[in-house]
Structure 1
Amino acid sequence: MSSRENILAAVLKNQPPASPLPDIGFLKGNAVDVVAQYSGVFASIGGNVFLVKDLAAVDALIRENFDATKRIITTLPELGNSFELLSATADPHTFDDVEVAVIEAQLAVAENGAVWLPEQRMGQRIVPYICQHLVVVVAAETIVPTLHEAYGQIGLGQYGFGAFIGGPSKTADIEQALVMGAHGPITMTVLILDQVG
């Protein structure tokens, strides 16, 4: 056994006993009208939010608000007839000209306007960051009041990669100049789907 293996074996043997996690039930938020709370917070951080009834309304809204002559990709099979369906096996370098990416979030968080995007929903890790405009569809019933509740739902999941994304990319300097799209999408739009399916 090498020195490295001896050290690692000794560390493994000297693990402290597991202790129960603290009760954080008191940190739960108010679940009343989380859609309105989410919409207000998301708009305040520079995002656009719309309530939509179904995926046909999603299609129409995208065509109304974005240039449909440019490349629009989606991970939602239901929108595959209207837009380019993203292939998880495509070379990531081929996404450099994506104008709009349409992705479905697993959940959203009302207190900070973030959406949870695990890699399986992104299609490819690069997609929500390289596009000019990010559109995220989230079901209204998946909006939770706080990050604590979001972590309660996603904590036991198996993710190779995932991210909370909240609003369009932006940065500001000491001269108080706000730049949108500094290192990611210029705009982010969340479409809250009011109806399942």
Structure 2
Amino acid sequence: MSSREKILAAVKNNQPALQLLPELTALAAITYENKFLQFSAVLTTIGGTVVEIKNTNDIIEYVKTNFSGNRNYITTLPQLQGFKTLDENLNPHTLENIEVAIVNAQFGVAENGSVWLTDDEIKIRALPFICEHLAVVLQKNDLVNNMQEAYNLIGETQYDFGVFIAGPSKTADIEQSLVLGAHGPKTMTVFVIQQFITPQ
């Protein structure tokens, strides 16, 4: 048995006893009369942008107008005609020059302005972290009140990778001065749509 195997076996044999998760009923009771307004307020406060849209044409027009200086668009949504659709078999290193990435979200959390993304939505895990500008499409009906509700949704789901993202990347490590886009997307835009329907 190698040293590595001995260490892993020792760790496995000395794990603490399993314990039941604590009851979070009181926390889960925190709800919002208007989840969309709460989500928008929080995301805007932390540097993100929320845009209400009617259909996919609105996404195309907004991106081309507000990111007009950028030319390297990519999306995981084939409904967005005019943008290159991501090939999930690409080498992630080839995404280093992506300026605007547009992906779908499973749901959003009103409490903290975050969205939940998995491999199903982003295809290549590096995509939402390596692009210059991240745009996310979220259905308004897919908003939950808080993280307790969010964990109830994902707790029984099988997925290899998942991440909550809230706003553009940021840091205040240097002299407590907030810097956006420090180690990831410079901006994050969430397109909130009533129902994801591509106009004919």
Normalization by structure 1: what TM-score? 0.87
Q: CA deviation at 1:178?
A: 2.4
The CA deviation string for residues 130-150 of structure 1, in whole angstroms up to 9 with x for no partner, is: 100000111111111101110
Distance 1:155 1:65 in 2: 37
- Mapping 1:33-182, distance limit 5 Å: 33-67=34-68, 70-79=71-80, 81-182=81-182
Q: How does 1:11-30 map to 2 (within 5 A)?
A: 11=13, 16=17, 20-28=20-28, 29-30=30-31
Q: Which moved more, 1:60-69 or 1:136-145?
A: 60-69
CA distance in 2, matches of 1:4, 1:171: 40
CA offset at residue 70 of structure 1? 1.1
Q: Secondary structure at the match of 2:44?
A: helix
Identity of aligned residues (%): 42
Counterpart CA distance in 2 for 1:4 and 1:176 is 44
Distance 2:113 2:142 in 1: 13
Distance 1:69 1:100, change over 3 A: closer
Alpha-carbon offset, residue 24 of structure 1: 2.2
Residue identity in the other structure for 2:46: I
- In structure 2, the gaps of 5 or more residues are none
Could you say if the C-alpha distance between residues 11 and 129 of structure 1 is closer, same or farther in structure 2, counting changes exceeding 3 Å?
Answer: same
Take 1:21 and 1:141, find their aligned partners in 2: how far apart are those partners? Answer: 28
Q: Contact (CA 8 Å) 1:31, 1:144: kept in 2 or not?
A: no
- 1:174 deviates by 4.7
8 Å contact kept, 1:74–1:83: yes
* C-alpha displacement of 1:20: 4.7
Query: Please, what TM-score do these two structures have when normalized by structure 2?
Result: 0.86
Q: Which amino acid aligns with 1:84?
A: K
Note the alpha carbon deviations across 1:49-103, whole angstroms, 9 max, x for none. Answer: 1111121211211112112751100001101x21000011011111011010001
Residue type at the aligned position of 1:11: N
Map Cα deviations across residues 136-193 of structure 1 (whole Å, 9 max, x no partner).
Answer: 1111111111011101001111221111111001112453432221100000111111
**For the Cα contact (< 8 Å) 2:74–2:85, is it kept in 1?**
yes
| Cα distance change of structure 1 residues 145 and 88 upon mapping to structure 2, 3 Å threshold | same
Match of 1:136, SS state, is strand
Aligned length: 194
Instruction: Indicate if the aligned counterparts of 2:70 and 2:99 stay in contact, CA closer than 8 A.
Output: no
